[in-house]
Amino acid sequence: MMKQSDNSGVLASEATREATAFRLFTFFGSKSVRSACYQLLLAALLVGFSYWLYSNVVENLHAQRISTGFGFLHQPAQFAIGETLIPYTANDTYTRALVVGFLNTLYVTLCGIVLATLLGFLVGIGRVSRNWLLMKVCVTYVELLRNVPVILHVIFWSMVIRNLPAPRQAIALPGGFLTNRGLTFSVPAAHSGWQWTLLALLAGCVLSLLVSLLARYWRERRSKVLPTARIHLALIIALPLLVWWLSGAPHALNTPELRGFNFRGGFTISPEFTALLLGISLYSSAYIAEIVRAGIQSVPKGQLEAARALSFSSWHIMRYVVIPQAMRVMVPPLASKYVSLAKNSSIAVVIGYPELANISNTMMSQTGQALEAIAIMMVVYLVISGTTSLLMNLFNRYVAIKER
């Protein structure tokens, strides 16, 4: 009896071990569990490699008696910046210098996106034009600009501007002058009326956007088309004009005048900013033109034939048939091109425009804090790229055609 009970206990324990092994095999044999284990292993390896790399860099910096950390950002920068959007002096801190560089980068990026988009859409529409001459001119524009490196574009425009006449022999333009020191033109004189007019223009743009959203809601939900063209004109043009008239209709201008070897008064766009803006904008506009062409050609021809059969004009076909459907194809690659344009602004180091990379290089050479300066640049460009992608994704959801 004792032997029989012992054999039963052994068999029970073996059965238990087999069941446990089977459960473990079933658990780790699952595809989702294996995938999670592989990802955890990869994450651990990446964390370990990053820690080893950081420790190695810190050890080498200490061996060279170079301190680490971001405490130097509170020290005086002791260098001037030629072009700023906010007040700055050489006695300000490195933090403020970086803020100046960030704002300059953001400024040239926004201006570049607007200019490249306008040129790209015009050239892209010309690429599919039935006019043979216009189509060939647009093809030449695209092939010539996009096959030349962007840095050469920037250097080329910098050389062109530097070879313009001096201020005493300036090229006179309507309301301004073009010289080798930039474009100088008249601007409204300081008056509170201009500020209120600008605020009215911004408010009109916001209200116009809300009207567009409301018109789309009515079109999709109630199948009714609202005539928004006149409303847009009233909000964007009539409202600012009304505010301008109510605030006293200021009309005085701050006109540039030649004094000594340069112009005084007005507003001057520096040669560095102009060269950088033209270089990255023209280069990106060639790619945007191809994106627009591909989006337009993706619209089925039956849609165009149906619109013509309904006696739509060419403008209405492009506005209500082609562009809404082409946007679904154009927005994702446009987002990528906008991000590339923002990163291409770092080429300003070549021509001396004081954007983020240029100021960071100066800070790096003065303090020796190379690791921190590069980390700051990486984070800032990552934020700019991420914000651009987020806004374009939101716009993509807006233009997407929603099925009922």
For the chain, give percent helix, strand, coil, nearest 5: 70, 5, 20
How many other CB atoms are found less than 10 A from the CB of residue 317? 18
* pLDDT tens digits, one per residue of 160-187: 888 888 888 877 777 777 888 878 877 7
Burial class (CB in 10 A: 0-12, 13-18, 19+), 111: middle
Distance of CA 287 to the CA centre of its chain: 15
What pLDDT band is residue 2 in, cutting at 50, 70 and 90?
very low
* Mean pLDDT value across the chain: 83
* pLDDT tens digits, one per residue of 134-161: 999 999 999 999 999 999 999 999 898 8
Q: Is the pLDDT of residue 364 over 70?
A: yes
What number of H helices and E strands is found in the chain? 14, 8
pLDDT value of residue 130: 83
Diameter of the chain measured on Cα atoms: 121
According to DSSP H, which parts of 79-147 are helical? 94-127, 132-146
Residues 6+ apart with CB under 8 A from 84: 100, 103, 104, 354
Q: Is the pLDDT of residue 6 over 60?
A: no
**320: which DSSP letter?**
I
Task: Report the alpha-carbon distance of residue 274 to residue 352 in Å, rounded.
Answer: 12
Q: Is the pLDDT of residue 29 over 70?
A: no
pLDDT value of residue 341: 92
Tracing tokens 């050469």 back to the chain, one arrives at: 152
pLDDT value of residue 197: 86
What pLDDT band is residue 401 in, cutting at 50, 70 and 90?
low
Q: What is the mean pLDDT of residues 96-108?
A: 92
How many other CB atoms are found less than 10 A from the CB of residue 260? 8
